[in-house]
Structure 1
Amino acid sequence: AVPYMGEVGRKVCAEAGVGWLDLSGNAHIIAPGLRVIVEGKPNRFKTAGRPPNLFAPKSSRIVRWLLIHAGEHLSQRELARATGLDEGFVSRLVARLAKEDYLVRDERGGVRAKDPALLLDAWREAYQFAKHTVHQGHVAARSGDALLRFVSDALAEQKIEHAATGLAAAWALTRFAAFRNATVYLPDDPSPALLQRLGYREDSRGANLWLVVPNDEGVFHGAVEKDGVRCVHPVQVYVDLKDHPERSTEAAERLRTELLTWGRDG
């Protein structure tokens, strides 16, 4: 038994057909003549003070990079250079990820995700899109795809760093699910000149465009271009879709099936 079985652990057990119980009083055990399901008991073993967050914005740079390069062993120096983080910070975070059994090391000390699918699940569980600054507004367009291309072209024309995410990026990458709402990351709050160029009108209720200033620049790491549209990496699209409207759940499933195909245990 573990002190407390989190959502990721429950999902892994369910997929493996394994029963479980934890020391906080939760259980899910089904066998011939036996059915024990207890849910909703809080974690009785939380540590005092603020628990370390392996998936805080800066920490997520490491997690994201490991998932982008799943299967490769990377040195801590390579991770630091790629993510722009201090080597000491990277060393401490890698040690914590290894302690939680998310990483494996090779004989030279390089690390890789032990189970990329499990690491992605854990990141997604902790992720909150609402922690970013989201500007919601409306831009006249005949379709979501037309809106995405118009906004992407306008940003590229003005040489503004950007990358689509959410349903718009899922569509660009997999062609799954027509969408109304386009979501685009920007490094800073949009200027009045940009909003005027887009014909943007602030409108949270009728919004079809979210301009998002991320809480960490790491969201741009691994960005890819697809048919002229710059998108964040599929792993970032996947976690972002967690808190999006419309057919976001189905879009995330398609994205994972087509582009995030590591499987369990690497």
Structure 2
Amino acid sequence: MEGGEYYDPVYFESTGIIHQTTTPYTPQQNGVAERKNMTLKEMVNSMLSYSDLSEGFCGEEMLTACYILNKTPNKRSNHAPYELWCIKVPNLSYLKVWGCRAVVRLTEPQRKTLGERGIDCISIGYAEHSKAYRFYVLEFNDIVSINTVIESRYVIFDEERFTSIPRPRDMIHQSSSKSTTQVEDVFGGGRTRNETISQHQYCFNIENDPKTFSEAMASRDVHFWKESIHDEIDSIMHNNIWVLTDLPLGFKAL
């Protein structure tokens, strides 16, 4: 354990788990968790590249990647974690391509009597507490707000269509008289994946990890870097790895 992400004293006490930590500076002792984190990160990068969505959807991608891994067998076992936990074979027929376009049917009381009864969305995963899918709303309408997340089972998927959504600062600014064109530029106009890639090749740029403290403090993710730094320092102090002391005269800190 490094940053305290696995430390929950209330849960440990309720289940009788004795908390142990790895030896300082020996990440190989935490190999199982490190390899699983690497697997999840590679899945997220693959989903991000395939769907052409911005890194703002990484949280939904991570949840979906973990959801899929829990329902698929691995090299060590012919049984999926879900099967071992629930004692039944998981149903995978409902799984859909992450990030594809979908039309979600509005249900009562949101559905209109006349006019369109569905809204354009992007599939971003599976509901946690119900048998439904999660969607990111694309269409401007007076029932469901745009850029929000909804859950529904009544949907038609188009797993061959994808949409690029850049970050707000990367969106193309146009005059109000061309609002329709702007919407098509931002949401890809319902093109196929290949058409979207060719026309929105540089919709978003993934920022490289900073190599120095000053670069981290100057990045747009400075809040998250500060949080990681504080978590790491708290872990170091909790494990008594370092002892704070005054720097001896004539010496320079590394």
Instruction: Compute the TM-score of the two structures, normalised by the length of structure 1.
Output: 0.24
Instruction: Compute the TM-score of the two structures, normalised by the length of structure 2.
Output: 0.25
Higher RCO, 1 vs 2 (CA within 8 Å, ≥6 residues apart): 1
Larger Rg: 2
